[in-house]
């Protein structure tokens, strides 16, 4: 059964400002139980104590509190150590039917998603501009996942440090800090989090992608010579939705590039085919010209000349 994007989004809409339905909380010292906090702080749910994440924008922090009308908030988790993003995201994705375990670490979540047969990594650790090309390509859909890799070191380690779900309109939802584009204050819920210190990984659920048309399969699959701005590349477009790129021409039309090189996924979008190149974030748009019996191609918006190799 394909991933249910609406189910994942609906879960996020319900829990984006509160601990997840499973009653667990991701923290820097491991996952903790909200029920244990309730017992320790004498804040039972049946007495009207709601568990919430409360953001203080002026200080740039968020805390977990139990809140009840007419009572002072009882804090159960301070900002230092609050780390529920991967947990929240794994619960959203599981609510959409993704067959992944509950995860508390971002690297684990990325690994679990990349291991699924129905996901495609559109771009891996891309910079801001390349990431925007992926977002603008139309391939990334609400319910897909973004991983944030801390790229600069400094105060934080070079590692996956944050995760979010794309909800459309350039926006995301996440925990720690809580965001949901369109539901809260939208000053910082753009997909890139406005940071120049991060790189971005885009993981797309592909089970509901438009299948390629017969015309596309007949005309696109094979080797292509691609000329753009004085450079020449060679694409090997495969039937399974993958393409590889080489700087040297193939020895023959059946040549196969070794795995691990520069690769893309290609997607049917109406009468066009869109390539997303994983390592660079380049986006090709190929439009079949029926009269000329070949493709008109743009790469990152710039015209390219393509020639199919016989």
Partner 1 sequence: MSLRAAFVCFLFPFALSAANSYENEVPADAVITLQRGACERRCAVYKIVIFADGTVIYDGQYYVKRKGLILSQADPAMLLKLIDDFKAIDYFNLNNEYGYGDTNGCAAVRTDGSIVKTSISVDGRAKAIIHQHRCEGAIPSQLTDLEDKIDRFAHSAQWVR
Residues that bind partner 1 (CB under 8 A): 28-29, 58-61, 79-83, 148, 150, 155-157, 159, 161-162, 176-177, 188, 193-195, 197-198
Cβ–Cβ < 8 Å for 243, 236: yes
Query: Of 83 and 144, which has the nearer Cβ to partner 1?
Result: 83
Look at strands 222-228 and 231-237 and give their pairing: antiparallel
Query: Of 118 and 197, which has the nearer Cβ to partner 1?
Result: 197
Tokens standing for residue 269: 């979008």
Per DSSP, what are the bridge partners of residue 25? 32
Cβ–Cβ < 8 Å for 63, 82: yes
Q: Residues 52, 108, 130, 212: is their CA dihedral positive or negative?
A: negative
Cis peptide before 177 (omega within 30 of 0): yes
Q: Residue 236's closest CA among 260, 263, 215, 212?
A: 263
Query: Of 53 and 148, which has the nearer Cβ to partner 1?
Result: 148
Residue 193 C-beta: closest distance to partner 1, Å: 5
Residue 284 C-beta: closest distance to partner 1, Å: 31
Cβ–Cβ < 8 Å for 145, 66: no
Q: How far is CA 232 from the centre of its chain?
A: 31
Query: Of 187 and 240, which has the nearer Cβ to partner 1?
Result: 187
Query: Of 80 and 208, which has the nearer Cβ to partner 1?
Result: 80
Report CA-CA distances (Å) from 11 to 54, 60, 63, 204, 251.
Answer: 19, 26, 21, 18, 51
Q: How far is CA 178 from the centre of its chain?
A: 17
Query: Of 25 and 237, which has the nearer Cβ to partner 1?
Result: 25
Query: Of 176 and 219, which has the nearer Cβ to partner 1?
Result: 176
Give Dmax over CA atoms of the chain in angstroms: 77
């Amino acid at each position: 059964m394909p991933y249910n994007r609406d189910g994942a989004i609906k879960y996020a809409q319900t829990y984006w400002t509160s601990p997840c339905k499973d009653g667990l909380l991701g923290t820097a010292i491991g996952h903790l139980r909200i029920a244990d906090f309730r017992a320790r702080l004498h804040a039972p749910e049946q007495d009207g104590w709601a568990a919430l994440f409360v953001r203080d924008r002026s200080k740039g922090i968020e805390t977990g509190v139990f809140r009840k009308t007419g009572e002072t908030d009882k804090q159960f988790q301070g900002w230092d150590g609050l780390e529920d993003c991967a947990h929240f995201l794994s619960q959203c994705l599981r609510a959409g039917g993704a067959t992944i375990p509950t995860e508390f670490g971002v690297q684990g979540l990325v690994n679990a998603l990349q291991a699924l047969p129905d996901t495609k990594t559109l771009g891996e650790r891309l910079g801001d501009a390349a990431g925007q090309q992926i977002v603008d390509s139309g391939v990334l859909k609400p319910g897909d996942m973004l991983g944030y890799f801390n790229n600069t070191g400094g105060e934080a380690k070079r590692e996956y440090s944050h995760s979010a779900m794309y909800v459309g309109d350039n926006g995301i939802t996440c925990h720690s800090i809580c965001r949901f584009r369109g539901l809260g204050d939208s000053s910082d819920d753009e997909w890139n989090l406005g940071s120049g210190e991060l790189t971005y990984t885009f993981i797309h659920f592909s089970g509901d992608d438009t299948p390629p048309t017969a015309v596309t399969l007949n005309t696109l699959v094979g080797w292509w010579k691609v000329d753009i701005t004085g450079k020449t590349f060679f694409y090997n477009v495969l039937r399974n939705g993958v393409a590889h790129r080489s700087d040297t021409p193939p020895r023959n039309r059946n040549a196969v590039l070794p795995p691990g090189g520069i690769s893309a996924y290609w997607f049917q979008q109406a009468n066009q085919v869109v390539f997303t190149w994983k390592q660079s974030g380049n986006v090709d748009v190929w439009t079949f010209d029926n009269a000329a019996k070949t493709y008109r191609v743009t790469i990152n918006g710039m015209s390219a000349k393509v020639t199919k190799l016989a």
